[in-house]
Structure 1
Amino acid sequence: MIEIKFFHDVLCPFCFMTNIRLKNVLKDFKGEVRLKHKAFIMISSLDDLKAIAPTEEDAREVFKNEFSILKRYMKDYDPEKPISKGKIGYVWSLPPLMACKAAEFQKGDEGHWEYFTRAQEKFFLEGENVADDQVLIEIAKEIGLDVERFKRDFKSKEAKLAVMEDEAEAKAMGIRGVPALLINDKWLIRGLQTEDYLRKVIEDLVKNGEPKAVELKAYWEQ
């Protein structure tokens, strides 16, 4: 069994694309790959965001630039559409990442994955503020979580600690940005990769147990 740890942030457009590509690839490797989801904070506080975006309109411009990245990979994507709703302003990383952990508490890594995917869709496609409590609760309802338990968990010390533990693990592996894929706690793949490359890596490891057809570097070599 291959284990892939996917370090990501809900607010990361490159993580959005990596998530889509991983889903497409891993459906062909059921029972051979276990995907674990790891939180990584890009915007650590509202103060950090306000330092570069003094007004909510400034913040929308910041996120519009981030959303525009998706135009490179999604032919019909229009960043104006979600931004024009006016709901995205002061959005930061910790609330949606804690919500992903609350989903994980109930349904394991599959729950985390489902919640993370829906949160990113809400943000990048529907223009919702995924740091807003009501949006996070609505996602929990949509994916069939026990909502009352979710309400207790998504702001809990346990959820925050789980995020902080993932951050500490990323730091120990030399991960300074996302997306990042850590395979079998050894080989590290940084940044957005093509589906073809991801498939070749997994096929290689499934067949050989270690990289032979594809060159990979251990995290300590990077």
Structure 2
Amino acid sequence: MLEIKFFHDVLCPFCFVATRRLLNVAKDYKDQVIVRHKSFMMISSLDDLKEIAPTVEDAREVFKNEFSILKKYIPDYDPDKVISKGKIGYVWSLPPQMACKAAEFQKGDEGHWLYYSKAQEKFFLEGEDITSDDVLIGIAEEVGLDIERFKKDFKSKKAKLAVIEDEEEAHAMGIRGVPAIVVNDKWLIRGVQSEDYYRQVIEDLLKNGEPKKIELKTYWEQ
């Protein structure tokens, strides 16, 4: 059995790509691989965003540049179309990350992944403000959560602490950016990788217990 800790942020375009690739691979190893979802905030406060984007229009330009990254992976993706909906402005990481934790409280790591994936679709494909209470509650409804419980949890101290604890774990491992994957609390994979690469890593570690065919480094070596 392999345990994969997947550190990510709803606002991260590279995580958007990595999530879908890892999901496609992990579903073929349901009885052999456990994916644990870990929060990592790219924009940890609105003040940080406002320092580089004094106006809402400036903020939209920042996110337009971030969204443009997806054109490398999705040829027909149009960031202008998404941003032009005008719903994205001062968006930061903590609210959607706490909402993902609230989903996790109800349905474990699978619930976290389902909610997180839907939140990213709302953000990157539909241009929704995923710091909005209405949007976050709407996602909870779409993925079948107990709404009353979600409303209590997604702004709770418990959810905020869970996000902070994930970040502290990442920092202790020397992780400073996402996506980042740690396998069996040892082997670190940074950035976006192909589905084939993820499969090779899983097969190699399942068969040999350590990397024999794929070159991997421990998190303390990086």
Corresponding residue for residue 186 of structure 2: 186
- Code of the residue aligned with 2:76 in structure 1: it is D
1:82 and 1:206 map into 2 onto residues whose CA distance is 41
What's the offset of the Cα at 1:182? 0.4
1:212 and 1:155 map into 2 onto residues whose CA distance is 45
Corresponding residue for residue 47 of structure 2: 47
Q: Is the aligned partner of 1:23 residue 2:18?
A: no
Q: Is the aligned partner of 1:94 residue 2:94?
A: yes
1:108 and 1:23 map into 2 onto residues whose CA distance is 16
- Code of the residue aligned with 1:45 in structure 2: it is S
Corresponding residue for residue 3 of structure 1: 3
SS at match of 1:36: strand
- TM-score, with structure 1 as normaliser: 0.99
What's the offset of the Cα at 1:84? 0.8
Identity %: 77
2:80 and 2:204 map into 1 onto residues whose CA distance is 40
Aligned residues: 222
Q: Deviations over 1:61-90 (max 9, x none)?
A: 000000000000012111112101000000
Corresponding residue for residue 177 of structure 1: 177
Corresponding residue for residue 156 of structure 1: 156
1:107 and 1:196 map into 2 onto residues whose CA distance is 29
Could you list the runs of 5+ residues in structure 2 that have no partner in the other structure?
none
Aligned-residue CA RMSD in angstroms?
0.6
- Code of the residue aligned with 1:193 in structure 2: it is Q
Q: Deviations over 1:97-125 (max 9, x none)?
A: 00000000000000000000000000000
1:125 and 1:209 map into 2 onto residues whose CA distance is 39
What's the offset of the Cα at 1:196? 1.4
Could you list the runs of 5+ residues in structure 1 that have no partner in the other structure?
none
2:67 and 2:16 map into 1 onto residues whose CA distance is 10
- Code of the residue aligned with 1:51 in structure 2: it is E
1:71 and 1:91 map into 2 onto residues whose CA distance is 21
1:81 and 1:208 map into 2 onto residues whose CA distance is 47
Moved over 2 A (4+): none
1:47 and 1:27 map into 2 onto residues whose CA distance is 39
Q: Which deviates more, 148-157 or 74-83?
A: 74-83
2:166 and 2:57 map into 1 onto residues whose CA distance is 32
Q: Which deviates more, 102-111 or 76-85?
A: 76-85
SS at match of 1:27: helix
Q: Deviations over 1:110-148 (max 9, x none)?
A: 000000000000000000000111100000000000001
2:81 and 2:141 map into 1 onto residues whose CA distance is 25
1:75 and 1:50 map into 2 onto residues whose CA distance is 31
SS at match of 1:211: coil
SS at match of 1:164: helix
Corresponding residue for residue 210 of structure 2: 210
1:23 and 1:172 map into 2 onto residues whose CA distance is 26
- Code of the residue aligned with 1:113 in structure 2: it is W
What's the offset of the Cα at 1:34? 0.2
